[in-house]
Structure 1
Amino acid sequence: MTFDPSGLTAYVNGEYVDATKASVSIFDHGFLYGDGVFEGMRVFDGGLFRANLHLDRIERSARTIGLPLPVPKDELLNIIGEVVRRSELQDAHVRPIIARGFGGPGIDPRNCPEPTLIVSAYPFPPFLGNDPIKLFTSAVVRKAPRSLGAHVKSLNYLDAIVAKQQAGELGMHDAVMLDHLGAVAECTGANLFIVVGDTLVTPTTRAALPGITRRTVLEIAREEGIAAEERDVWPAELHCCDGAFVCGSGAGVVPIGSFDGRPVVQPTHPIITRIQDAYKARTRDAAYRTELYIAVS
Protein backbone atom coordinates (compact mmCIF):
# COMPACT_ATOMS: atom_id res chain seq x y z
CA MET A 1 0.00 0.00 0.00
CA THR A 2 1.46 3.34 -1.09
CA PHE A 3 0.98 6.16 1.40
CA ASP A 4 0.34 9.65 0.01
CA PRO A 5 0.16 12.53 2.55
CA SER A 6 -0.86 15.09 -0.10
CA GLY A 7 -3.62 17.40 1.12
CA LEU A 8 -3.09 16.52 4.78
CA THR A 9 -2.11 18.86 7.60
CA ALA A 10 0.26 18.05 10.45
CA TYR A 11 1.18 19.86 13.65
CA VAL A 12 4.85 20.24 14.54
CA ASN A 13 5.97 22.22 17.59
CA GLY A 14 3.34 24.93 17.52
CA GLU A 15 2.73 25.13 13.77
CA TYR A 16 0.19 23.58 11.41
CA VAL A 17 2.04 22.64 8.25
CA ASP A 18 1.60 20.79 4.98
CA ALA A 19 2.10 17.12 5.94
CA THR A 20 4.31 16.57 2.89
CA LYS A 21 6.75 19.17 4.29
CA ALA A 22 6.57 18.38 8.00
CA SER A 23 9.98 17.64 9.51
CA VAL A 24 12.02 17.44 12.70
CA SER A 25 15.73 17.89 13.32
CA ILE A 26 18.06 14.99 12.56
CA PHE A 27 19.41 15.68 16.08
CA ASP A 28 16.05 15.11 17.77
CA HIS A 29 16.48 12.20 20.20
CA GLY A 30 13.22 10.72 18.99
CA PHE A 31 14.91 10.21 15.62
CA LEU A 32 18.39 9.41 16.93
CA TYR A 33 17.46 6.96 19.68
CA GLY A 34 13.72 6.26 19.58
CA ASP A 35 13.41 8.35 22.74
CA GLY A 36 9.74 9.21 22.85
CA VAL A 37 6.19 7.93 23.05
CA PHE A 38 3.11 7.98 20.84
CA GLU A 39 -0.53 6.98 20.53
CA GLY A 40 -2.61 5.47 17.74
CA MET A 41 -6.14 6.88 17.85
CA ARG A 42 -9.11 6.42 15.53
CA VAL A 43 -11.67 8.81 14.10
CA PHE A 44 -14.91 7.12 13.01
CA ASP A 45 -17.51 9.24 11.18
CA GLY A 46 -16.03 12.46 12.58
CA GLY A 47 -15.79 11.26 16.17
CA LEU A 48 -12.55 10.49 18.04
CA PHE A 49 -12.99 7.12 19.77
CA ARG A 50 -12.16 6.91 23.50
CA ALA A 51 -10.00 10.02 23.36
CA ASN A 52 -9.59 10.38 27.11
CA LEU A 53 -8.21 6.86 27.52
CA HIS A 54 -5.64 7.47 24.78
CA LEU A 55 -4.61 10.83 26.27
CA ASP A 56 -4.28 9.28 29.72
CA ARG A 57 -2.11 6.51 28.27
CA ILE A 58 0.26 8.82 26.43
CA GLU A 59 0.62 10.84 29.63
CA ARG A 60 1.48 7.67 31.60
CA SER A 61 3.91 6.54 28.91
CA ALA A 62 5.64 9.93 28.95
CA ARG A 63 5.74 10.11 32.74
CA THR A 64 7.33 6.66 32.93
CA ILE A 65 10.30 7.76 30.83
CA GLY A 66 10.55 11.17 32.53
CA LEU A 67 9.27 13.10 29.54
CA PRO A 68 7.04 16.13 30.25
CA LEU A 69 3.93 16.72 28.16
CA PRO A 70 4.62 19.76 25.94
CA VAL A 71 0.98 20.90 26.36
CA PRO A 72 -1.87 19.96 28.71
CA LYS A 73 -4.06 17.06 27.63
CA ASP A 74 -7.05 19.27 26.81
CA GLU A 75 -4.87 21.39 24.54
CA LEU A 76 -3.47 18.27 22.88
CA LEU A 77 -7.06 17.17 22.20
CA ASN A 78 -7.76 20.55 20.58
CA ILE A 79 -4.65 20.20 18.40
CA ILE A 80 -5.74 16.73 17.30
CA GLY A 81 -9.17 18.07 16.39
CA GLU A 82 -7.66 20.92 14.39
CA VAL A 83 -5.34 18.57 12.47
CA VAL A 84 -8.27 16.32 11.58
CA ARG A 85 -10.46 19.27 10.57
CA ARG A 86 -7.78 20.89 8.43
CA SER A 87 -7.13 17.54 6.76
CA GLU A 88 -10.89 17.16 6.12
CA LEU A 89 -10.99 13.59 7.37
CA GLN A 90 -14.13 11.82 8.52
CA ASP A 91 -12.40 8.45 9.13
CA ALA A 92 -8.75 8.50 10.09
CA HIS A 93 -5.89 7.20 12.16
CA VAL A 94 -4.38 9.88 14.40
CA ARG A 95 -0.84 9.74 15.71
CA PRO A 96 0.33 12.16 18.42
CA ILE A 97 4.07 11.80 19.07
CA ILE A 98 6.04 13.26 21.96
CA ALA A 99 9.78 12.96 21.40
CA ARG A 100 12.61 14.00 23.71
CA GLY A 101 13.54 16.84 21.38
CA PHE A 102 16.66 18.43 19.93
CA GLY A 103 19.77 17.46 21.85
CA GLY A 104 22.59 16.39 19.58
CA PRO A 105 24.66 13.19 19.86
CA GLY A 106 24.70 11.30 23.17
CA ILE A 107 21.75 9.59 24.80
CA ASP A 108 21.60 11.77 27.94
CA PRO A 109 18.07 13.26 27.95
CA ARG A 110 19.34 16.24 29.91
CA ASN A 111 20.80 17.47 26.63
CA CYS A 112 17.25 18.04 25.34
CA PRO A 113 15.70 21.19 26.86
CA GLU A 114 12.34 21.03 25.03
CA PRO A 115 10.29 18.03 23.90
CA THR A 116 8.98 17.74 20.36
CA LEU A 117 5.25 17.43 19.70
CA ILE A 118 3.96 16.09 16.39
CA VAL A 119 0.37 15.26 15.47
CA SER A 120 -0.63 13.69 12.17
CA ALA A 121 -3.88 12.25 10.83
CA TYR A 122 -4.40 10.18 7.71
CA PRO A 123 -6.80 7.73 6.04
CA PHE A 124 -6.00 4.26 7.30
CA PRO A 125 -8.05 1.17 6.54
CA PRO A 126 -7.61 -1.72 9.02
CA PHE A 127 -3.99 -2.73 8.53
CA LEU A 128 -4.69 -6.47 8.72
CA GLY A 129 -7.80 -6.35 6.53
CA ASN A 130 -11.08 -8.03 7.49
CA ASP A 131 -10.64 -11.67 6.45
CA PRO A 132 -9.18 -14.35 8.77
CA ILE A 133 -5.42 -13.92 8.99
CA LYS A 134 -2.48 -16.32 9.21
CA LEU A 135 -0.07 -16.00 12.14
CA PHE A 136 3.17 -17.67 13.13
CA THR A 137 4.96 -17.75 16.45
CA SER A 138 8.14 -15.68 16.35
CA ALA A 139 11.33 -16.43 18.26
CA VAL A 140 11.74 -12.68 18.88
CA VAL A 141 10.89 -12.10 22.55
CA ARG A 142 9.01 -9.09 23.85
CA LYS A 143 11.40 -7.00 25.95
CA ALA A 144 8.96 -6.19 28.76
CA PRO A 145 8.80 -6.47 31.71
CA ARG A 146 12.54 -6.80 32.40
CA SER A 147 13.33 -3.87 30.16
CA LEU A 148 10.76 -1.10 29.74
CA GLY A 149 7.23 -1.63 31.07
CA ALA A 150 4.76 -2.95 28.50
CA HIS A 151 2.43 -0.02 29.27
CA VAL A 152 4.85 2.37 27.56
CA LYS A 153 3.95 2.87 23.91
CA SER A 154 7.42 3.95 22.87
CA LEU A 155 8.93 4.98 19.54
CA ASN A 156 11.17 1.89 19.57
CA TYR A 157 9.37 -1.00 17.86
CA LEU A 158 12.40 -2.92 16.61
CA ASP A 159 11.42 -6.24 18.22
CA ALA A 160 7.99 -6.04 16.57
CA ILE A 161 9.50 -4.91 13.27
CA VAL A 162 11.84 -7.91 13.08
CA ALA A 163 8.99 -10.29 13.95
CA LYS A 164 6.76 -8.64 11.34
CA GLN A 165 9.56 -8.98 8.79
CA GLN A 166 9.80 -12.69 9.54
CA ALA A 167 6.03 -13.03 9.11
CA GLY A 168 6.15 -11.41 5.70
CA GLU A 169 9.01 -13.59 4.52
CA LEU A 170 7.01 -16.69 5.53
CA GLY A 171 3.86 -15.55 3.76
CA MET A 172 2.06 -14.81 7.03
CA HIS A 173 0.08 -11.72 7.93
CA ASP A 174 1.58 -11.18 11.36
CA ALA A 175 3.54 -12.78 14.20
CA VAL A 176 2.67 -13.91 17.71
CA MET A 177 5.32 -12.71 20.16
CA LEU A 178 6.16 -14.47 23.43
CA ASP A 179 7.43 -13.02 26.69
CA HIS A 180 10.56 -13.93 28.65
CA LEU A 181 8.73 -16.89 30.26
CA GLY A 182 7.59 -18.29 26.93
CA ALA A 183 3.97 -17.25 27.42
CA VAL A 184 2.05 -15.48 24.65
CA ALA A 185 2.35 -11.69 24.89
CA GLU A 186 0.65 -10.18 21.85
CA CYS A 187 1.10 -9.71 18.11
CA THR A 188 3.43 -7.12 16.61
CA GLY A 189 0.88 -4.32 16.80
CA ALA A 190 -2.29 -5.79 18.28
CA ASN A 191 -3.57 -7.67 21.30
CA LEU A 192 -4.71 -11.28 20.98
CA PHE A 193 -7.75 -13.22 22.23
CA ILE A 194 -8.60 -16.90 21.93
CA VAL A 195 -11.94 -18.64 22.44
CA VAL A 196 -11.84 -21.71 24.66
CA GLY A 197 -15.26 -23.31 24.83
CA ASP A 198 -17.57 -20.43 25.71
CA THR A 199 -14.84 -18.29 27.28
CA LEU A 200 -12.73 -15.47 25.89
CA VAL A 201 -9.12 -15.67 27.05
CA THR A 202 -6.46 -13.00 26.61
CA PRO A 203 -2.85 -12.79 27.85
CA THR A 204 -1.99 -10.61 30.80
CA THR A 205 -0.34 -7.25 30.18
CA ARG A 206 2.93 -8.38 31.75
CA ALA A 207 4.55 -8.07 28.33
CA ALA A 208 1.66 -6.75 26.25
CA LEU A 209 0.40 -3.22 25.75
CA PRO A 210 -2.82 -2.64 27.73
CA GLY A 211 -4.69 -1.80 24.55
CA ILE A 212 -7.71 0.50 24.46
CA THR A 213 -9.44 -1.88 22.04
CA ARG A 214 -8.53 -4.82 24.30
CA ARG A 215 -10.17 -2.98 27.19
CA THR A 216 -13.23 -2.26 25.05
CA VAL A 217 -13.54 -5.95 24.10
CA LEU A 218 -13.42 -6.98 27.77
CA GLU A 219 -16.10 -4.38 28.59
CA ILE A 220 -18.28 -5.69 25.77
CA ALA A 221 -17.82 -9.27 26.98
CA ARG A 222 -19.04 -8.32 30.46
CA GLU A 223 -22.07 -6.51 29.07
CA GLU A 224 -22.90 -9.36 26.68
CA GLY A 225 -22.59 -12.02 29.39
CA ILE A 226 -19.56 -13.63 27.73
CA ALA A 227 -17.13 -15.18 30.20
CA ALA A 228 -13.65 -13.66 29.89
CA GLU A 229 -10.29 -14.38 31.54
CA GLU A 230 -6.98 -12.53 31.62
CA ARG A 231 -4.26 -15.09 32.32
CA ASP A 232 -1.08 -16.63 30.98
CA VAL A 233 -1.67 -18.19 27.56
CA TRP A 234 0.87 -20.75 26.36
CA PRO A 235 1.74 -21.35 22.69
CA ALA A 236 0.24 -24.86 22.60
CA GLU A 237 -3.14 -23.37 23.53
CA LEU A 238 -3.19 -21.47 20.25
CA HIS A 239 -3.24 -24.76 18.37
CA CYS A 240 -6.31 -26.15 20.13
CA CYS A 241 -8.48 -23.07 20.64
CA ASP A 242 -11.99 -22.91 19.19
CA GLY A 243 -11.55 -19.42 17.74
CA ALA A 244 -9.19 -16.46 17.94
CA PHE A 245 -8.85 -12.82 16.95
CA VAL A 246 -6.54 -9.83 17.19
CA CYS A 247 -7.65 -6.35 18.11
CA GLY A 248 -6.25 -2.85 18.16
CA SER A 249 -7.01 0.73 17.19
CA GLY A 250 -5.34 0.27 13.82
CA ALA A 251 -6.63 -3.25 13.21
CA GLY A 252 -10.14 -3.28 14.64
CA VAL A 253 -11.29 -6.82 15.49
CA VAL A 254 -9.89 -9.35 13.01
CA PRO A 255 -10.41 -13.14 13.15
CA ILE A 256 -7.42 -15.51 12.99
CA GLY A 257 -7.55 -18.35 10.49
CA SER A 258 -4.42 -20.27 11.47
CA PHE A 259 -1.47 -20.42 13.86
CA ASP A 260 1.82 -21.80 12.53
CA GLY A 261 0.03 -23.38 9.57
CA ARG A 262 -2.56 -25.14 11.74
CA PRO A 263 -6.16 -24.02 11.02
CA VAL A 264 -8.29 -22.54 13.77
CA VAL A 265 -11.46 -24.61 14.29
CA GLN A 266 -13.91 -21.69 13.84
CA PRO A 267 -12.35 -18.50 12.44
CA THR A 268 -15.84 -16.96 12.43
CA HIS A 269 -16.84 -18.26 15.85
CA PRO A 270 -20.22 -16.86 17.04
CA ILE A 271 -18.53 -15.15 19.99
CA ILE A 272 -16.14 -13.37 17.64
CA THR A 273 -19.00 -12.21 15.43
CA ARG A 274 -20.80 -10.83 18.48
CA ILE A 275 -17.69 -8.96 19.57
CA GLN A 276 -17.14 -7.54 16.07
CA ASP A 277 -20.72 -6.30 15.80
CA ALA A 278 -20.71 -4.80 19.30
CA TYR A 279 -17.34 -3.13 18.76
CA LYS A 280 -18.50 -1.53 15.51
CA ALA A 281 -21.62 -0.22 17.25
CA ARG A 282 -19.55 1.16 20.11
CA THR A 283 -17.28 3.14 17.79
CA ARG A 284 -20.43 5.04 16.70
CA ASP A 285 -21.85 5.42 20.22
CA ALA A 286 -21.88 9.04 21.38
CA ALA A 287 -20.91 8.00 24.91
CA TYR A 288 -17.50 6.84 23.67
CA ARG A 289 -16.76 9.56 21.11
CA THR A 290 -15.40 13.08 21.08
CA GLU A 291 -17.06 14.85 18.16
CA LEU A 292 -14.64 16.92 16.08
CA TYR A 293 -17.25 18.86 14.05
CA ILE A 294 -15.48 18.49 10.74
CA ALA A 295 -16.67 20.73 7.94
CA VAL A 296 -15.82 18.91 4.74
CA SER A 297 -16.17 21.01 1.59
Structure 2
Amino acid sequence: MYIYLNGEFVEQEKALISPFDHGFLYGLGLFETFRIYEGHPFLLDDHLKRLNHGLKALQFEAAYERLQIFSLLQELLKKNQLLNAYIRLNVSAGAGEVGLQATGYEYPFLIIFSKSLPQAGEMQEKMAKLLKITRNTPEGNERLKSHHFLNNILAKKELGPSPNYEGLFLTKEGFLAEGITSNLFWVKEGTLYTPAIETGILNGITRQFILKMAKKVGFEVAEGFYQKEPLYEAEEVFVTNSIQEIVPFKEVDMHQFPGKEGKVVQALHKEFRKHRSVLWTRNDI
Protein backbone atom coordinates (compact mmCIF):
# COMPACT_ATOMS: atom_id res chain seq x y z
CA MET A 1 0.00 0.00 0.00
CA TYR A 2 1.05 3.56 -0.69
CA ILE A 3 0.70 6.49 1.71
CA TYR A 4 1.03 10.21 1.07
CA LEU A 5 4.05 11.48 3.00
CA ASN A 6 4.39 15.26 3.03
CA GLY A 7 4.79 15.82 -0.71
CA GLU A 8 5.25 12.36 -2.17
CA PHE A 9 3.56 8.99 -2.44
CA VAL A 10 5.67 6.20 -0.95
CA GLU A 11 5.23 2.53 -0.14
CA GLN A 12 4.19 2.30 3.48
CA GLU A 13 7.18 0.07 4.35
CA LYS A 14 9.51 2.86 3.22
CA ALA A 15 7.79 5.71 5.07
CA LEU A 16 9.95 7.59 7.57
CA ILE A 17 9.41 10.50 9.94
CA SER A 18 11.96 12.48 11.91
CA PRO A 19 12.57 11.43 15.53
CA PHE A 20 12.58 15.18 16.23
CA ASP A 21 9.00 15.61 15.01
CA HIS A 22 7.07 17.14 17.90
CA GLY A 23 4.13 14.98 16.94
CA PHE A 24 6.27 12.03 18.01
CA LEU A 25 8.07 13.68 20.92
CA TYR A 26 5.11 15.46 22.52
CA GLY A 27 1.97 14.18 20.79
CA LEU A 28 1.56 17.53 19.08
CA GLY A 29 -0.58 16.66 16.11
CA LEU A 30 -4.14 16.43 14.82
CA PHE A 31 -5.94 13.96 12.62
CA GLU A 32 -9.23 13.29 10.87
CA THR A 33 -10.67 9.92 9.91
CA PHE A 34 -13.39 9.55 7.29
CA ARG A 35 -14.75 7.19 4.67
CA ILE A 36 -14.56 7.14 0.92
CA TYR A 37 -17.82 5.90 -0.59
CA GLU A 38 -17.52 4.91 -4.25
CA GLY A 39 -14.72 7.45 -4.64
CA HIS A 40 -16.47 10.23 -2.68
CA PRO A 41 -14.97 11.56 0.60
CA PHE A 42 -18.07 11.95 2.76
CA LEU A 43 -18.29 15.30 4.62
CA LEU A 44 -14.73 16.22 3.63
CA ASP A 45 -15.45 19.96 4.00
CA ASP A 46 -16.61 19.46 7.59
CA HIS A 47 -13.55 17.39 8.48
CA LEU A 48 -11.23 20.00 6.99
CA LYS A 49 -13.02 22.82 8.80
CA ARG A 50 -12.50 21.08 12.15
CA LEU A 51 -8.90 20.24 11.27
CA ASN A 52 -8.10 23.81 10.23
CA HIS A 53 -9.68 25.14 13.42
CA GLY A 54 -7.41 22.87 15.46
CA LEU A 55 -4.33 23.78 13.43
CA LYS A 56 -4.96 27.44 14.13
CA ALA A 57 -5.40 26.75 17.84
CA LEU A 58 -2.06 24.93 17.94
CA GLN A 59 -0.34 27.62 15.87
CA PHE A 60 0.49 25.35 12.96
CA GLU A 61 1.17 27.40 9.84
CA ALA A 62 -1.03 25.26 7.61
CA ALA A 63 -4.60 25.09 6.34
CA TYR A 64 -6.13 22.68 3.85
CA GLU A 65 -8.88 23.08 1.26
CA ARG A 66 -11.16 20.64 -0.51
CA LEU A 67 -9.56 20.74 -3.97
CA GLN A 68 -6.05 20.28 -2.59
CA ILE A 69 -6.90 17.30 -0.40
CA PHE A 70 -9.35 15.74 -2.86
CA SER A 71 -6.64 15.73 -5.52
CA LEU A 72 -4.27 13.92 -3.17
CA LEU A 73 -7.00 11.46 -2.20
CA GLN A 74 -7.79 10.66 -5.82
CA GLU A 75 -4.14 9.91 -6.54
CA LEU A 76 -3.76 7.82 -3.39
CA LEU A 77 -6.90 5.80 -4.17
CA LYS A 78 -5.69 5.25 -7.72
CA LYS A 79 -2.29 4.01 -6.56
CA ASN A 80 -3.90 1.65 -4.04
CA GLN A 81 -6.71 0.62 -6.42
CA LEU A 82 -9.40 1.55 -3.91
CA LEU A 83 -12.94 2.76 -4.43
CA ASN A 84 -14.24 2.37 -0.86
CA ALA A 85 -11.73 3.20 1.83
CA TYR A 86 -10.82 4.31 5.33
CA ILE A 87 -8.79 7.52 5.33
CA ARG A 88 -6.69 8.99 8.12
CA LEU A 89 -5.46 12.51 7.38
CA ASN A 90 -2.72 13.30 9.88
CA VAL A 91 -0.89 16.59 10.56
CA SER A 92 1.98 16.63 13.04
CA ALA A 93 3.95 19.64 14.21
CA GLY A 94 7.10 18.77 12.27
CA ALA A 95 10.71 18.61 13.38
CA GLY A 96 12.05 20.93 16.06
CA GLU A 97 14.52 21.09 18.89
CA VAL A 98 14.10 18.77 21.86
CA GLY A 99 12.13 20.76 24.43
CA LEU A 100 8.76 22.44 24.64
CA GLN A 101 8.20 25.17 22.06
CA ALA A 102 6.14 28.26 22.83
CA THR A 103 6.12 29.64 19.29
CA GLY A 104 4.23 28.36 16.27
CA TYR A 105 5.23 25.56 13.91
CA GLU A 106 6.22 26.66 10.42
CA TYR A 107 6.59 23.26 8.74
CA PRO A 108 3.83 20.84 9.75
CA PHE A 109 4.09 17.30 8.38
CA LEU A 110 1.13 15.89 6.43
CA ILE A 111 0.50 12.16 6.11
CA ILE A 112 -2.54 10.50 4.50
CA PHE A 113 -3.16 6.81 5.15
CA SER A 114 -5.73 4.64 3.40
CA LYS A 115 -6.96 1.09 3.74
CA SER A 116 -9.62 -0.89 1.98
CA LEU A 117 -13.17 -1.06 3.30
CA PRO A 118 -16.02 -3.16 1.91
CA GLN A 119 -18.85 -1.43 0.13
CA ALA A 120 -21.13 0.14 2.75
CA GLY A 121 -23.96 -2.10 3.80
CA GLU A 122 -26.49 -2.40 6.59
CA MET A 123 -26.00 -1.36 10.21
CA GLN A 124 -23.93 -3.54 12.50
CA GLU A 125 -25.25 -3.74 16.06
CA LYS A 126 -23.11 -4.07 19.19
CA MET A 127 -23.33 -4.30 22.97
CA ALA A 128 -21.97 -1.70 25.38
CA LYS A 129 -20.58 -1.37 28.89
CA LEU A 130 -20.08 1.69 31.07
CA LEU A 131 -16.38 2.02 31.80
CA LYS A 132 -14.76 2.36 35.21
CA ILE A 133 -12.10 4.69 33.83
CA THR A 134 -13.54 8.19 33.44
CA ARG A 135 -13.25 10.50 30.45
CA ASN A 136 -10.35 12.86 30.91
CA THR A 137 -11.01 16.56 30.62
CA PRO A 138 -9.89 18.43 27.49
CA GLU A 139 -6.35 19.76 27.75
CA GLY A 140 -7.44 23.17 26.46
CA ASN A 141 -10.69 25.05 26.03
CA GLU A 142 -12.16 22.27 23.86
CA ARG A 143 -11.36 18.72 22.89
CA LEU A 144 -9.32 18.56 19.70
CA LYS A 145 -8.95 15.37 17.68
CA SER A 146 -5.30 15.14 18.67
CA HIS A 147 -2.60 12.51 19.07
CA HIS A 148 -3.31 12.40 22.82
CA PHE A 149 -5.12 9.05 23.00
CA LEU A 150 -3.89 7.47 26.23
CA ASN A 151 -7.30 7.83 27.91
CA ASN A 152 -8.91 6.00 24.98
CA ILE A 153 -6.24 3.30 24.93
CA LEU A 154 -6.59 2.60 28.64
CA ALA A 155 -10.36 2.41 28.15
CA LYS A 156 -9.93 -0.09 25.32
CA LYS A 157 -7.68 -2.20 27.53
CA GLU A 158 -10.37 -2.17 30.22
CA LEU A 159 -13.07 -3.14 27.70
CA GLY A 160 -11.08 -5.91 26.04
CA PRO A 161 -10.47 -6.86 22.41
CA SER A 162 -13.95 -8.00 21.39
CA PRO A 163 -15.21 -6.06 18.31
CA ASN A 164 -18.77 -6.69 19.46
CA TYR A 165 -18.55 -4.26 22.39
CA GLU A 166 -18.11 -0.51 22.80
CA GLY A 167 -17.11 1.13 26.05
CA LEU A 168 -18.95 4.22 27.26
CA PHE A 169 -17.23 6.91 29.31
CA LEU A 170 -18.68 8.85 32.22
CA THR A 171 -17.11 12.12 33.29
CA LYS A 172 -15.52 12.28 36.73
CA GLU A 173 -18.74 13.98 37.90
CA GLY A 174 -20.76 10.96 36.74
CA PHE A 175 -22.28 12.39 33.56
CA LEU A 176 -22.59 10.38 30.36
CA ALA A 177 -19.88 11.40 27.90
CA GLU A 178 -19.02 9.34 24.80
CA GLY A 179 -17.75 6.03 23.54
CA ILE A 180 -14.08 5.10 23.25
CA THR A 181 -14.18 6.04 19.56
CA SER A 182 -17.73 7.29 19.14
CA ASN A 183 -20.45 9.74 20.15
CA LEU A 184 -23.44 8.58 22.18
CA PHE A 185 -27.19 8.98 21.48
CA TRP A 186 -30.41 7.58 22.90
CA VAL A 187 -34.12 7.94 22.19
CA LYS A 188 -36.97 8.44 24.62
CA GLU A 189 -40.56 9.43 23.77
CA GLY A 190 -39.74 10.98 20.42
CA THR A 191 -36.67 12.94 21.55
CA LEU A 192 -33.10 12.24 20.53
CA TYR A 193 -30.71 12.83 23.42
CA THR A 194 -26.93 13.26 23.40
CA PRO A 195 -24.37 14.61 25.89
CA ALA A 196 -23.51 18.28 25.48
CA ILE A 197 -20.13 19.37 24.15
CA GLU A 198 -19.60 21.07 27.53
CA THR A 199 -19.16 17.61 29.12
CA GLY A 200 -15.76 17.59 27.39
CA ILE A 201 -16.53 15.23 24.52
CA LEU A 202 -15.24 15.46 20.98
CA ASN A 203 -17.71 17.21 18.69
CA GLY A 204 -17.73 14.40 16.15
CA ILE A 205 -18.40 15.19 12.50
CA THR A 206 -20.90 12.34 12.23
CA ARG A 207 -22.43 13.54 15.52
CA GLN A 208 -23.02 16.96 14.00
CA PHE A 209 -24.43 15.41 10.84
CA ILE A 210 -26.83 13.17 12.78
CA LEU A 211 -28.10 16.09 14.86
CA LYS A 212 -28.81 18.17 11.77
CA MET A 213 -30.35 15.26 9.89
CA ALA A 214 -32.54 14.30 12.87
CA LYS A 215 -33.96 17.82 13.10
CA LYS A 216 -34.57 17.81 9.35
CA VAL A 217 -36.67 14.65 9.49
CA GLY A 218 -38.70 15.88 12.46
CA PHE A 219 -37.08 14.59 15.65
CA GLU A 220 -36.80 16.70 18.78
CA VAL A 221 -33.16 16.97 19.85
CA ALA A 222 -31.80 17.58 23.36
CA GLU A 223 -28.16 18.10 24.41
CA GLY A 224 -27.26 18.26 28.08
CA PHE A 225 -25.73 16.73 31.20
CA TYR A 226 -27.23 13.31 31.95
CA GLN A 227 -26.62 10.60 34.53
CA LYS A 228 -26.58 6.97 33.44
CA GLU A 229 -30.18 6.17 34.50
CA PRO A 230 -31.86 7.86 31.49
CA LEU A 231 -29.68 5.73 29.23
CA TYR A 232 -30.92 2.52 30.83
CA GLU A 233 -34.52 3.74 30.50
CA ALA A 234 -34.19 4.67 26.83
CA GLU A 235 -36.12 3.09 23.97
CA GLU A 236 -33.09 2.94 21.67
CA VAL A 237 -29.37 3.57 22.17
CA PHE A 238 -26.70 4.00 19.53
CA VAL A 239 -23.30 5.53 18.82
CA THR A 240 -21.84 7.15 15.74
CA ASN A 241 -18.46 7.69 14.16
CA SER A 242 -17.18 8.45 10.69
CA ILE A 243 -16.10 4.91 9.86
CA GLN A 244 -18.82 2.77 11.46
CA GLU A 245 -21.64 5.28 10.75
CA ILE A 246 -24.59 4.46 13.06
CA VAL A 247 -24.10 1.56 15.48
CA PRO A 248 -27.19 0.59 17.50
CA PHE A 249 -26.85 -1.30 20.78
CA LYS A 250 -28.85 -4.38 21.65
CA GLU A 251 -27.54 -4.35 25.21
CA VAL A 252 -26.00 -1.83 27.63
CA ASP A 253 -24.91 -3.20 31.02
CA MET A 254 -27.43 -6.07 30.72
CA HIS A 255 -30.27 -3.68 29.79
CA GLN A 256 -31.87 -4.82 26.54
CA PHE A 257 -32.61 -2.64 23.50
CA PRO A 258 -33.91 -3.32 19.97
CA GLY A 259 -30.53 -2.80 18.30
CA LYS A 260 -30.78 -2.51 14.53
CA GLU A 261 -34.51 -3.25 14.70
CA GLY A 262 -35.12 0.13 16.35
CA LYS A 263 -37.39 2.38 14.32
CA VAL A 264 -35.39 5.55 14.94
CA VAL A 265 -32.01 4.10 13.95
CA GLN A 266 -33.62 2.59 10.87
CA ALA A 267 -35.06 5.97 9.87
CA LEU A 268 -31.75 7.75 10.48
CA HIS A 269 -29.77 5.13 8.62
CA LYS A 270 -32.13 5.34 5.65
CA GLU A 271 -31.42 9.08 5.44
CA PHE A 272 -27.70 8.49 6.00
CA ARG A 273 -27.56 6.18 2.96
CA LYS A 274 -29.04 8.89 0.75
CA HIS A 275 -26.16 11.27 1.45
CA ARG A 276 -22.99 9.28 2.06
CA SER A 277 -21.88 9.04 -1.59
CA VAL A 278 -22.53 12.67 -2.52
CA LEU A 279 -22.38 15.09 0.42
CA TRP A 280 -19.39 17.38 1.06
CA THR A 281 -20.85 19.16 4.11
CA ARG A 282 -23.82 18.72 6.44
CA ASN A 283 -24.82 22.29 5.59
CA ASP A 284 -26.10 21.06 2.23
CA ILE A 285 -28.88 18.88 3.61
State if a TM-score over 0.5 links the two structures. yes
Superposition TM-score, scaled by structure 2 size: 0.88
Contact 2:5 2:112 in 1 (8 A): yes
The answer to whether residue 28 in structure 2 is matched with residue 28 in structure 1 is no
The answer to whether residue 198 in structure 2 is matched with residue 208 in structure 1 is no
Q: Which residue of 2 is the match for residue 294 of structure 1?
A: none
Taking a change above 3 Å as real, the CA distance of residues 107 and 130 of structure 1, as seen in their structure-2 partners, is: farther
The answer to whether residue 134 in structure 2 is matched with residue 160 in structure 1 is no
C-alpha displacement of 1:29: 1.5
The answer to whether residue 128 in structure 2 is matched with residue 132 in structure 1 is no
The answer to whether residue 230 in structure 2 is matched with residue 237 in structure 1 is yes
The answer to whether residue 244 in structure 2 is matched with residue 251 in structure 1 is yes
* CA–CA separation in structure 2 for the residues paired with 1:169 and 1:118: 27
Matched position secondary structure for 1:139 = coil
Taking a change above 3 Å as real, the CA distance of residues 84 and 35 of structure 1, as seen in their structure-2 partners, is: same
The answer to whether residue 190 in structure 2 is matched with residue 194 in structure 1 is no
Give the total of aligned pairs: 279
Instruction: State how 1:216-295 maps to structure 2 within 5 Å.
Output: 216-264=209-257, 268-285=261-278
Question: Deviation string for 1:155-200 (max 9, x for gaps)?
Answer: 1111011111111168961211122432111101111110112111
Taking a change above 3 Å as real, the CA distance of residues 9 and 109 of structure 1, as seen in their structure-2 partners, is: farther
Matched position secondary structure for 1:136 = strand
C-alpha displacement of 1:286: 5.4
* CA–CA separation in structure 1 for the residues paired with 2:232 and 2:266: 20
C-alpha displacement of 1:219: 1.9
Question: Deviation string for 1:72-115 (max 9, x for gaps)?
Answer: 66423332332223222111111111101112432326596522
Structure 1: unaligned runs, 5 residues or longer = 1-7, 290-297
Superposition TM-score, scaled by structure 1 size: 0.85
> In the alignment, which of 1, 4, 7 is matched to residue 14 of structure 1?
7
The code of the aligned residue for 1:163 comes to A
* CA–CA separation in structure 2 for the residues paired with 1:199 and 1:111: 44
C-alpha displacement of 1:201: 0.7
* CA–CA separation in structure 1 for the residues paired with 2:183 and 2:14: 33
Taking a change above 3 Å as real, the CA distance of residues 67 and 180 of structure 1, as seen in their structure-2 partners, is: farther
Structure 2: unaligned runs, 5 residues or longer = none
The code of the aligned residue for 2:180 comes to T
Q: Which residue of 2 is the match for residue 292 of structure 1?
A: none
Contact 2:127 2:165 in 1 (8 A): yes
* CA–CA separation in structure 2 for the residues paired with 1:78 and 1:28: 26
* CA–CA separation in structure 1 for the residues paired with 2:209 and 2:8: 34
Contact 1:64 1:152 in 2 (8 A): no
Contact 1:102 1:113 in 2 (8 A): no
Question: Deviation string for 1:127-159 (max 9, x for gaps)?
Answer: xx94321211113222334x2344411011110
The answer to whether residue 167 in structure 2 is matched with residue 175 in structure 1 is yes
Identity of aligned residues (%): 27
Q: Which residue of 2 is the match for residue 295 of structure 1?
A: none
Taking a change above 3 Å as real, the CA distance of residues 148 and 140 of structure 1, as seen in their structure-2 partners, is: farther
